[in-house]
Amino acid sequence: MKPSTSPAGTRPAPGRLRGIVALLLQTLLVVAVALPAGVVIAPAFLGPDRPSKASQETPPWQQVPATLSAPGTGPGGLGPLAGTAPVPVGAALAARLNGTLKTDGGGTFTGIVQDAATGQVLFNRAADQARVPASNMKLLTASAALRVLGPDRRFSTRVVAGPTPGSVVLTGGGDVLLGAGESDPGAVLGRAGLATLARATVRALKDGAGGTGAGTGTIRVLLDDSLFSGPPLSPAWSPEDVAAGEMAPLYPLALNSARFDPAKTTGPRPQDAAMTAAATFAARLTDAAKAAGLSVAPGVARIAPGASPEPASAKVLAEVQSATVGEQVDLMLRTSDNYLAEVMGRMTARGTGRPGSGKDAIAAVLQQVRDMGVPTGALRAADVSGLALANQVSARQLTDVVRAMASGTDTRLRAALAGFPVAGLTGTLEDRYTDAASAAGAGLVRAKTGTLNTVIALSGYVVDADGRLLVFSFVGNGLTPGSANKAALDRSAAVLAGCGCH
């Protein structure tokens, strides 16, 4: 695609945008997440003090940067934005959105746009109507996990001394992003590696740790995946979706978010992700043990519930830790991984003292949403990933959650902001915002996508042309499958990015 410009001649079209991805994205991330703790409304999201004619030109914060932003410059490292930018006039904004937010075929769109600082509603189309939200449900799960677990929490995968001499127990602690090789401190997927865990286990055994009796003999590997309770699959999920790999039975440890290959994020998943991880660990342990003059018995046995040593008394032989909850939430939102979302929901339930079933995950997430001040009277949840068609959430509830993340008082929620896909650049929005009608939003709109057969949704935030932070949610239900309705959402979000509607 050859370079071109927008009608105003001042903005890069999609071809040019892809040439400056790294530069622009780093600048956007600094603006999005460098928020001062304790500030009720993030300074960068309130807009600059600019004359009204500014909307006729491309403002500095929407231009391609000449240099990388330097963290720590300005109040909280956020540059020139202030709280006096003009708020869009609702009628002017609605006139534009009514021209773009149209279905292609059957179904309807609901939607809402709010000023993030004040909560003022600038556009409302049946925003309180409960609808199937698809993966926008993950916004609720993300906020609940950050509130309960905290953005800095990590999950541990441990090997403990087993109940019989010579046995060791691989114990799942909620990390389903394990890697098969060495731990990678710079990664989220693969931050904890089973090869590293295996080598550490052999060292402990050679040193005689735990009195396992395996320091000079044969090691027997057991698996404890009892952290979660209840059925590993929800009856609310379509068997066809499970077979296609949208979901798999849930366990508290897995490789690659229950994928066979970390490079392939589609297609069928392992149906026993915990045992798959345990078999990989046993293979790595066999390699490490051989070099140390030890041997590993073939096969892995799943330990009976209650047969594993009590956590308080179990001798830990080795341990690896996951990426932080904040990093995992970012990955969950960026890639829209259903499996990771459901595990995060169950870990949130465990964090509140619940047993950790699918129902517990739903209860824990909804309780946190209520505690955030979001009314949940008409909200119905059948899962916490958004795969179930029985979920019912309104566009207003979704924007309430996004607004809490962007400008609420609970600064733990700020950790989710960087995980929102960036239009035309990252995650599930990487290949969108590439046509002339939506290019104005490329690099500027940050939003969580949602897609089911007859459902699409887009909820997120954007700083408009006048420097005002807007939060929005557009939800389509009953749509004609295979139609171009995603383009309608992208055009509508692009309207917000380019709006000088005051």
| Amino acid type, 271 | Q
- Catalytic residue, chosen from 226, 234, 308, 336, is 336
Residue whose pair of structure tokens reads 């609605």 in the numeric block:
94
The span from the CA of 83 to the CA of 49, in Å, is: 7
How is residue 248 written in tokens? 């798999």
| Amino acid type, 346 | R
Q: Are 113 and 471 in contact (CB under 8 A)?
A: yes
The span from the CA of 98 to the CA of 101, in Å, is: 6
- Catalytic residue, chosen from 135, 308, 322, 438, is 135
Q: Are 414 and 150 in contact (CB under 8 A)?
A: no
Question: Is 290 known to be catalytic?
Answer: no
Question: Is 135 known to be catalytic?
Answer: yes
Q: Are 140 and 369 in contact (CB under 8 A)?
A: yes
How is residue 59 written in tokens? 């403002």
Question: Is 438 known to be catalytic?
Answer: no
3-state secondary structure of 345: helix
The span from the CA of 418 to the CA of 71, in Å, is: 15
The span from the CA of 405 to the CA of 44, in Å, is: 14
Question: In Å, how far from its chain's centre is CA 164?
Answer: 41
How is residue 402 written in tokens? 């996004």
- Catalytic residue, chosen from 138, 226, 322, 473, is 138
CB neighbours of 235 closer than 8 A, spacing ≥ 6? none
The span from the CA of 256 to the CA of 245, in Å, is: 13
CB neighbours of 224 closer than 8 A, spacing ≥ 6? 169, 170, 171, 172, 303, 308
Q: Which residues are catalytic?
A: 135, 138, 336
